[in-house]
Structure 1
């Protein structure tokens, strides 16, 4: 029986590399593991793969000793023996080349990850075992890539709107029963696409990554363009829609395409927003895996303490320090848009982002690319400037308390029920309920049903971008009216004939009967724009009678406020003499905006909003309610 392989300490700025010392015909594969200074290492490739959850139950012979690895890596190594590696003998594989039991070594090697992948000759992506019939997918990817080049800009932005069902049928794609769709679905179902670490592993490759499924090579460029087109234009119309697991892969590949086109570095807040649905078995890696793509990881810079990999520190403290670092360095509160989950206020202060939290709803602020002052790739929330350009003003804070400045706007006095994707997609009554509630609360201030309809249409869609030039606000209300009509028709056919329902029907019918029929109206077109309403709720405020859209955790008596550095108004929940941070809602665009004027001249109106120990911040007795940001909230 061979001795167990024992790792020796790694010198600073050094790495281990692996190479095969036997060929594929050998029954038992053998390997050599050697230490090199990174700057003087021989040519090597770097492997990107999904570890899997299985423990280290398989042994390989390494330097004449037994080294335990997991079964997934065993499969990858077997396929790599058959690969023409272009004369590059050595390979870097994290599971083997890092002593995973040594926490200190793990941290230092993680901080070197950018340099490791940039030094390697190329990244080899191994998706897993070969899929039967995989050769059939090539023609489909070629067709999808053609549509990408026709319909999207190089950055992935749309040249046109999403496809309708008739346009999709005319696109010339294979029938739903074609086996190539099944193969593509199998490829996109591989877990590699949703793992945090693979992002920089693929992006930092010197040359185009080599993607393997088993020993079959796939075109990285074709996969990127195909997935970007599907995600942007018509995913729900394809057979892939029957396999929800593929959604995550398409989102991920769309991000890879953006990174591929725009290059690095990126702003950290942008990366965290774009990668919110990626996964990592180690919670801290949800951030650490991205640092190599940021300016902070520049070759001549030293990583800020908050961003250095530290697996000894509790996750709670790591996430708190990272959140505070991002707020202080960016001088804004955009990082709080990542709170799209049910917060655990017993574990984290409410202002601290749980970067490992599962996303439960979509963001409702629209982001667009904006050049960073230092040349980084970054996005900003467009059309939202609640704080009038004022940076975040952080006061004296303890570890768990973030004290910032801002002012109160209004209190929430009514919320509609949480809307579900299944109900909205099937013309259920929820949008109709919102419309009628808006009529009841705001009808006296609007002169026409058309104006009311436009307010609800924009609110439910969060005024989403349709193309680079067009937003929902630019659309006719005809598609929205058609959607309400379909919802009303379904309600009449399916609802129980009780008294309350009859009154509700009558009210709906009276409002809709006066709408002039439009032969161009298509209920499905507006339905395509309702993604942002899924799992959100519409709310109304008390004094100012605003209407807005926010996540499901909002409730009556929460307050709206503007915190400096925030693109949209924030929601706080009074608790004793403090506040909990709840959420950033999405406002609609006011046709007659009230202006904040020169916010810097209104410094005397600013009052401290001490945010949040356990999410709490001490309450102040005086808030200014007269200052509003231009174009932020629709007033009835």
Structure 2
């Protein structure tokens, strides 16, 4: 998963204290790396003892890899949930580089499974490969997550160790997936329960797994000793999914989400439904969004890939708002790897950044992406005003900010969005983004735009400017098509529309 991901029963925690494993690991010495260009990988080196618990039978080493060479490096990346570390029973001891390191139960079970299965490629595991006590390193490494998971030979989606009473159902599911007509034929009770159990694991609800699964080239879902190819599970889903399911509405029934037929009798259907688990909506949403993501990667020209293949920030917030994380800041940072070039340039990961400054950065990124979408769709001013306000309110709630100061923060974000559009170069370094956000909160919005209408009318001016840009964009597209010229990119057209 990603740089900071402690779990708890609560979705959010504003004051996150060090957990039991982090306290005990303070003296662990990590191999030195350049956190902007290098990562660490974990390698199983040799067997330490036959009578020890599975993960303790082996010793591990950390090795360094250059991010620029990841495409040519054979390694595995792990996608998983951390779990709790509140007491001694939640953590386990392993040996890395001849030093003791405490890890949490879910990860310990994974290492026990993977070492026994004979996988000897190095593995990227954030809880081990990142120095969790070094905030500077973590902030840099968050920005590398997309490259880490996109270049891995395989991403293992570890959903945990199943309960003993589910072993038979998972066996039945595995056998069913081996058949070619798995999506068309009738399923029995045990097979359905196995699928429902697999898709109901807490793993699917976490926010950090989204970019890990969407960016991965190859995925194997691992539940204890059961290994299932992602494509074998996802092909069962009735993609694209209905809007009601994507919005997590409970009235969407199991049968609407899958391709295989319903039971023939109502009584049989009720018996199935009574045995199904809750939470499978989250897995289905990830199947849906990965499918959309892969199609976009396939059909967008390579020359435009880096700039346009990602999600606009406002859409990423909307699509994944139901995913869970403990640190509210990760509601923004966990999405960075999925964003388009402009979104990534406007948001700088920093766990030391005040929440108000993060709000300004993130909201401005959302307003800019809304603005571009409105320009392309020629949205009217009133609709744009409503969408701007709704997005500001959504980010305010997601980040847990108080009602007091809401208007000032929204205006500062709006001014930053306009400031962004006034620049020829649309990418910022870390210091510029944080400085600009802080200045706006301290001095208040000035609406410093090259467009005089935006400066004159404030929020309404911003919306009128959007409409003006949209009309200009439409006219420019028409001119290029009429003249038989090659249609330029959206970024170039937007520059032309605003008179750059």
TM-score (norm 2): 0.59
1:547-579 per-residue CA deviation (whole Å, 9 max, x = no partner) reads xxxxxxxxxxxxxxx955899xxxxxxxxxxxx
User: Is the contact made by 1:404 and 1:564 (CA closer than 8 Å) also made in structure 2?
Assistant: no
* Residue 406 of structure 2, aligned match among 346, 349, 358: 349
Does 2:339 match 1:294? yes
Question: 1:550-589 maps to which residues of 2 (within 5 A)?
Answer: 564=464
Q: How does 1:9-24 map to 2 (within 5 A)?
A: 9-11=32-34, 12-23=36-47
Q: Distance in 1 between matches of 2:157 and 2:295?
A: 19
Per the TM alignment, residue 246 of structure 1 is displaced from its structure 2 partner at its CA by 2.1
Q: In the alignment, does 2:265 pair up with 1:220? A: no
Kept in 1, the 8 Å contact 2:60–2:96? The answer is: yes
Q: Quote the offset at 1:100 in angstroms.
A: 1.0
Q: 2:193 aligns with which of 179, 182, 188?
A: 182
- Superimposed CA distance per residue, residues 146-169 of structure 1 (whole angstroms, 9 cap, x where no aligned partner): 65xxxxxxxxxxxxxxxxxxxxxx
Q: Deviations over 1:14-61 (max 9, x none)?
A: 111111123598422210112233335642111111111335721110
Q: Secondary structure at the match of 2:76?
A: strand
RMSD of equivalent CA atoms: 3.9
Aligned counterparts of 2:201 and 2:237: Cα–Cα separation in 1: 14
Tell whether 2:329 aligns with 1:284: yes
Q: Could you tell me whether the CA contact under 8 Å between 1:141 and 1:226 is conserved in 2? A: no
Q: CA offsets per residue over residues 448-503 of structure 1, 9 Å max, x none?
A: xxxxxxxxxxxxxxxxxxxxxxxxxxxxxxxxxxxxxxxxxxxxxxxxxxxxxxxx
Match of 1:515 in 2: none
Whether contact under 8 Å (1:59, 1:67) holds in the other structure is yes
Higher mean C-alpha displacement, 320-329 vs 127-136: 320-329
- 1:313-363 Cα deviation digits (max 9, x unpaired): 12232123210232135425546555569956436615969xxxxxxxxxx
Is 1:102–2:126 an aligned residue pair? no
CA offsets per residue over residues 112-148 of structure 1, 9 Å max, x none?
A: 112222332221211111441212124666899865x
Distance in 2, matches of 1:132 and 1:179, equals 10
Equivalent residue runs for 1:221-260 within 5 Å = 221-229=231-239, 231-232=241-242, 235-237=253-255, 239=272, 243-260=277-294
The alignment partner of 1:281 has SS state of: coil
| Structure 2 CA distance for partners of 1:231 and 1:142, relative to 1, 3 Å | farther
Please say if 1:5 is aligned against 2:28. Answer: yes
State the aligned residue count: 341
Offset of residue 274 of structure 1: 1.1
| Bigger Rg, which one | 1
Alignment of 1:200-219 (within 5 A): 200-205=211-216, 207-219=217-229
1:436-585 equivalences in 2 (<5 Å)? 564=464
User: Which secondary structure state, in structure 1, belongs to the residue aligned with residue 290 of structure 2?
Assistant: helix
Contact persistence 1:24–1:78 (CA under 8 A): no
Distance 1:316 1:191, change over 3 A: farther
Partner of 1:273: 318
Report the Cα distance in structure 2 between the residues aligned to 1:36 and 1:315, rounded to whole angstroms: 33
Rate the CA distance shift 1:244–1:118 in 2: closer, same or farther, 3 A. Answer: closer
Contact 2:359 2:396 in 1 (8 A): no
* Alpha-carbon distance between aligned partners in 2 of 1:203 and 1:108, rounded to the nearest angstrom: 21
More moved, 118-127 vs 89-98: 118-127
The 5 Å alignment of 1:38-53 reads 38-40=67-69, 42-53=73-84
Asked whether the 8 Å contact 2:93–2:102 carries over to 1, the reply is: yes
Go from structure 1 to structure 2 and tell me whether the alpha carbon gap of 1:216 and 1:31 turns closer, same or farther (over 3 Å shift). Answer: same
Residue of structure 1 in register with 2:351 after alignment: 311
1:59 and 2:93 aligned:
yes
Q: Does 1:128 align with 2:128?
A: no
Equivalent residue for 1:328? Answer: 368
The answer as to whether partners of 2:26 and 2:133 remain within 8 angstroms in 1 is no
CA gap 1:251/1:6 in 2 versus in 1, 3 angstroms: same
5+ unaligned residues in a row in structure 2: which ranges? 1-24, 246-251, 256-268, 298-308, 375-383, 411-438, 448-456, 473-500
- TM-score scaled by length of structure 1: 0.47
In the superposition, relative to structure 1, how do residues 227 and 39 fare at CA in structure 2: closer, same or farther (>3 Å)?
A: same
Q: 1:63 to 1:139 in 2, by over 3 A?
A: closer
Whichever structure has more helix as a proportion of its residues is 2
- SS of equivalent to 1:19: strand
- Larger strand percent: 1
- C-alpha contact 1:4 1:66 (8 A) present in aligned 2: no
Could you give the per-residue CA deviations for residues 60-96 of structure 1, whole angstroms, max 9, x where no partner exists? Answer: 10111101111111011111113354xx521111000
- Does residue 199 in structure 1 map to residue 235 in structure 2? no
Counterpart for residue 14 of structure 2: none
Output the CA distance in 2 between the equivalents of 1:145 and 1:347. 58
In 2, the alpha carbon distance for the partners of 1:289 and 1:112 equals: 11
Distance 1:137 1:43 in 2: 30
Change (3 A) 1:59 1:564: farther
Unpaired segments ≥5 residues, structure 1: 148-170, 354-395, 408-561, 568-597, 601-636
Deviations 1:267-300 (A, max 9, x none): 22222211111111221222212211222289xx
Residues 220 and 227, structure 2, Cα contact 8 Å, conserved in 1: yes
